Amino acid sequence: MGIFETSVYGAGSRSGNEESDDWLLRISVHDSDIATIDYRSDEGASGRFYLGFQPRDYFDNPDASEPVDLVAVSNSFSSWASREVGTAVSPEELREFMASEAVEEPDDIFVEDTVVRLLERLGIPLPKWLAD
C-alpha cells in the first residue's frame, strides 16, 4: 500500500496544519502514484499541477482532473517560487518534474521521490514523513 499524506507550507516554513486555510503551498500524495501540488500567493500566482501521474490518466477517466497547461503552470510556478521562496528555477526545469498528459511511466517509481527532488530544488524543507 502506498503513502497518503498532505503537507502545507506557509511563509517559508512547513505549517503542518493541513486544515489551515493560511497556506502558500500544499502537497498531497495519493497512494505513492500522484502528488497534487497547489500553490498560491497574495500577488495572484496560483495553480495546480501533478507529479507522477495526472489523475485523469491514472484513473483512466478524463473527469478525474482538469487538463493541465504545463507551459502556463510552469511559468506561473516559476514566478511563484521566485517571489515566495526566493528560488530562481526556470519553467523548463519545472516541467521536468511535472506529470505530463498520458504519461505511461513516470521517471520515479514512487512519487515521493519526485516530491523530494522538487522540494530540494526549491530549497523548501522536507516534511517529517519524507525526511525519514
Q: Is the residue at 41 inside a domain?
A: yes
Residue 66 in any domain: the answer is yes
Cell for 56? 485523469
Q: For residue 70, is it within any domain? A: yes
The pTM score is 0.91
On whether residue 60 sits in a domain, the answer given is: yes
User: Domain total for the chain?
Assistant: 1
Q: 24 in a domain, yes or no?
A: yes
Domain assignment of residue 20, yes or no: yes
59: containing domain? 5-127
pLDDT for 43 beyond 90: no
Residue at 132 is within a domain: no
Tell me what pLDDT residue 41 has. Answer: 85
- Give residue-wise pLDDT tens across range 92-116: 999 999 999 998 899 999 999 999 9
- Using CB atoms within 10 Å of the CB of residue 77, give its burial: 0 to 12 exposed, 13 to 18 middle, 19+ buried: buried
Residue appearing with cell numbers 503537507 = 7
